[in-house]
Structure 1
Amino acid sequence: MSAADVIVGLSGGVDSSVAALLLQRSGTTIAGLFMQNWEEDERNGPCRADADRKDAVAICARLGIALHARNFASEYWDQVFARFLDEYRRGRTPNPDVLCNREIKFSLFLDHAHALGAAKIATGHYARVDEVDGRFRLRRALDAGKDQTYFLHALGQGALASTLFPLGELQKSQVRRLAQEAGFATHDKKDSTGICFIGERDFRQFLSGYLPAQPGPMRTPDGVAVGEHPGVFYFTLGQRSGLGIGGRRGSEGEPWYVVGKDVADNVLYVAQGNANDWLQSHVLDAGELTWIAGAAPAARFRCTAMTRYRQPDQACLVEIDGDRCRVRFDEAQRAVTPGQSVVFYDGDVCLGGGVIERSDAPFGGLQPLPRAAEPAHA
């Protein structure tokens, strides 16, 4: 059998299935590759990869293409999951999907595809790539509700030059319809949500198997005790669920939200109200910067940014300092969370991003800066 021109990463889901379908219909010679990035054990329940693999096998059989399989679990543990645990130990909230894309799906997978003789890989991500003046650009998908460039911002020129995103021009509804018309059993398969290796399991229970935590006090910012938490690792800024303090304290009975974490003293800080001032910030510092074009647009530039997935564009000023930057937003941002990604855009073009280190929220670790000191619109 001759080598395929493109190896499609088949996850067993509807998106990758239709990506393969579209490429085959375009006349491209393709094969599939199923990646197993996580190995379950009895403690963590049954392995979801078995069912996904069977779906991938069925798709390849229907398309009449070969299916390769690779186990990247060891590399995933070292390059993604170990970092995930380290970040939680520090009291931060990591984003493993960004690391998985950079280190596994668009690095190891790409290397294996080249070893199989393919020139390119393809995935079911909702994103677009084009080339302007010899440089590749990462652009948002036409389906704004499914766009995944936020999770792809750490890819470089090499990865983008060798990657196809067949779904970038489609709406999710079109993708499901194409799958149904093709007779794919995946056409109504539920989309995976949350962190891939946790799946539908309780997050706190999963994390406790790797990061045993100690109960500690839950306090308001002014030091009033309002309850006890099971471990600061298990909470993130802006979180409402799982606090177990309901309408206690406060005459208006507004819900409580996590506004700060003190890992050293094992204290969780909470305040009432979704828009309370303790969660608001105008400035953040980020590190581990990566740029799609290979370098930042300028030492100081205006753009829009997202500090979480599916957030509306936020106007800001970015100031570069080596592999770090300071971002000044025109409007206050809620629950800017260390460990998460800040991702920069120029219209529908993703410029790159970095890992949030701190903000000027009261518990953010960055000394609050007077906005008049350097206007964001400069």
Structure 2
Amino acid sequence: MSAPAVIVGVSGGVDSSVAALQLVEQGVPSAGLFMQNWADDGSGDCRAEEDRRDAVAVCGRLGIPFHFRDFSSEYWAGVFEHFLAEYAAGRTPNPDVLCNREVKFKHFLDAARELGADKIATGHYAQVALRDGHWRLLRGVDRSKDQSYFLHQLGQQQLSATLFPIGGMQKSDLRRIAREAGLQTHDKKDSTGICFIGERDFREFLGRYLPAKAGEMRDPQGVRIGEHPGVFYFTLGQREGLQIGGVRGRPAAPWYVVGKDVANNILYVDQDSGSRYLQSHRLQSEAAHWISGSAPARQFECTAQTRYRQADEPCQVTVNDDGTVAVRFTRAQRAVTPGQSLVLYDGDECLGGAVIASTDAPLEQKIAEQKV
């Protein structure tokens, strides 16, 4: 049997199923590969086996070979250990970004080449184009499903070897196409949230690895409001899970996380969803990654997202000598969160991005000054 030209990452979902279907209909010699990235912990919450069976069925229906690789140890070392370290430090990481860089477009790509393939394909809503001698990462046509945000750490080598067969399609068409092709994943529910947590309670899961340490919840003026089970369970702007009952002298309104003092184990909360303590105009990043290999300029204007599915926000970017970037937004941003990803765009082209290190939000500034 001749080697396939393309190995498709089949996840057992409808997106990767239709990606494989597109290649088969185009006559591209293809095979599917299912990646197991998380070892079943016996909780009953891991859907890996169900997903693998669906991936096998899809490959069988399409008449293409099926391959399996267990990347759980690589995922643990390259993604999960970092995830835990970030939460322990009080930051909020984005494991999907790291998973793409460390597993799907590294170990999966290596496995595909070992199988003799020239390229890999995935069911991401994104597009790749070769322009002016550089590979460009573009948003997916369906902006409501665009996943370029999670792919911003890819570089020229990965993009030159990657296809996104559904990047030019609308999600609303995919289930119909899958149904008409007889793919059993056509009505399968999309997976949401962090893959290794699944449907289980986030706090319970995280508590297995980071022991709870109760501390005070205070308002921005330092008045005690209640108690929290651990600052790393919460992220900026969060409303759910605070379990604050009626507070004497305070209105019966929801509370929101507006600050985290990890060193002193204090969680700051406020009752205004648009609280000024959540607002920032500037951020500083860790070292940035540029898809083309270098920054467009030392200083330039573009748009940015500091969280997935956020509307484009105009900003000015200054690239520092150490490779980090300083960003100033045209208008105030709500709940920009250290540990999350800053992703930069020029129209539909993703330029790259970086992990957010700090912002000029009032409480973050105050807590930082207290450390000095």
Bin the TM-score by the shorter chain.
over 0.9
What percent of counterpart residues are identical?
Answer: 64
The answer on whether the counterparts of 2:46 and 2:196 sit within 8 Å (CA) in structure 1 is: no
CA shift for structure 1 position 213? 1.7
1:84-124 residue CA offsets vs partner (Å, 9 max, x unmatched): 00000100000000000001000110011011100000000
- Name the CA distance, whole Å, in 2 between partners of 1:352 and 1:120: 22
Q: Deviations over 1:203-256 (max 9, x none)?
A: 000000000121111110111111110111100000000001145356543311
1:312 alignment counterpart: 311
Instruction: Name the CA distance, whole Å, in 1 between partners of 2:178 and 2:259.
Output: 45
CA distance in 2, matches of 1:214, 1:251: 26
Contact 2:290 2:353 survives alignment (8 Å): yes
- The equivalent residue for 2:324 is 324
Q: Would the aligned equivalents of 2:152 and 2:352 in 1 still touch at CA under 8 Å?
A: yes
- SS of the equivalent of 2:195 reads coil
Q: Secondary structure of 1:273's partner?
A: coil
Quickly say closer, same or farther: Cα 1:137–1:109, change in 2 above 3 A. same
Q: Which amino acid in structure 1 is aligned with residue 174 of structure 2?
A: V
Counterpart position of 2:90: 91
Does 2:222 match 1:223? yes
CA distance in 2, matches of 1:247, 1:150: 39
Task: Give the TM-score taking structure 2 as reference length.
Answer: 0.97
Secondary structure of 1:318's aligned partner: strand
For residue 333 of structure 1, what is the amino acid of its counterpart? Q
> Which residue in the other structure is 2:39 paired with?
39
* Distance (Å, rounded) in 2 between the aligned partners of 1:331 and 1:249: 35
How far apart are residue 288 of structure 1 and its match? 2.8
What pairs up with 1:267-306 in 2 under 5 angstroms? 267-306=266-305
Q: What secondary structure does 1:55 align onto? A: helix
Deviations 1:52-76 (A, max 9, x none): 0000000011011111100000010
1:218-257 matched pairs, under 5 angstroms = 218-249=217-248, 251-257=250-256
Q: What is residue 5 of structure 2 aligned with on the other side? A: 5
Aligned to 2:344: 344
Q: C-alpha deviations, 1:28-80, integer Å up to 9, x for none?
A: 000000000000223x4353110000000000110111111000000100000
Q: 1:360, 1:366 within 8 Å by CA — same for their partners in 2?
A: no
Name the residue aligned to 1:181: 180
Instruction: Give yes or no for contact 2:261–2:367 (8 Å, CA) kept in 1.
Output: no
Alignment of 1:101-116 (within 5 A): 101-116=100-115
C-alpha distance in 2, partners of 1:367/1:49?
42
Q: SS of the counterpart of 1:158? A: helix
Assess, with a 3 A threshold, how the Cα gap between structure 1 residues 366 and 32 changes in structure 2: closer, same or farther. farther
Amino acid at match of 1:13: G
CA distance in 2, matches of 1:327, 1:92: 19
Where 1:103 maps in the other structure, the secondary structure is: helix
Is the counterpart of residue 100 in structure 1 residue 95 in structure 2?
no
CA contact (8 A) 2:286 2:354 kept: yes
Paired amino acid for 1:33: L
Distance 2:85 2:45 in 1: 26
- Contact kept in structure 1, 2:46 and 2:198, CA below 8 Å: no
Q: Deviations over 1:302-344 (max 9, x none)?
A: 0000000000000000000132010000000000000000000
8 Å Cα contact 1:121-1:163 kept in structure 2: yes
Whole-angstrom CA distance in 2 between matches of 1:45 and 1:17: 25
| RMSD of Structure 2 on Structure 1 (CA) | 1.3
Q: Given that residues 287 and 325 in structure 2 are in contact (C-alpha distance below 8 angstroms), is that contact kept between their aligned partners in structure 1?
A: no
TM-score, normalised relative to structure 1: 0.95
Contact 1:226–1:249 (CA<8 Å) still a contact in 2?
A: no
The answer as to 2:134 corresponding to 1:121 is: no
Question: Structure 1: how far apart are the matches of 2:258 and 2:367?
Answer: 16
One-letter amino acid matched to 1:19? A
Aligned residue for 2:31, secondary structure, equals strand
For residues 147 and 266 of structure 1, the distance between their equivalents in structure 2, rounded to whole angstroms, comes to: 37
Relative distance call for 1:338 and 1:123 in structure 2 (3 A) is same
Structure 2 unmatched ranges of 5 or more:
none
Q: Which amino acid aligns with 2:323?
A: D
**Local SS of the residue matching 1:353:** strand
Query: Which runs of 5 or more residues in structure 1 are unaligned?
Result: 369-378
Please state whether the residue corresponding to 1:363 is helix, strand or coil. helix
- Residues 359 and 366 in structure 1, CA contact (< 8 A), matched pair in contact too: no
- Name the aligned partner's letter for residue 359 of structure 2: S
Give the direction of change, closer, same or farther, for the CA distance of 1:168–1:114 in structure 2 (3 Å limit): same
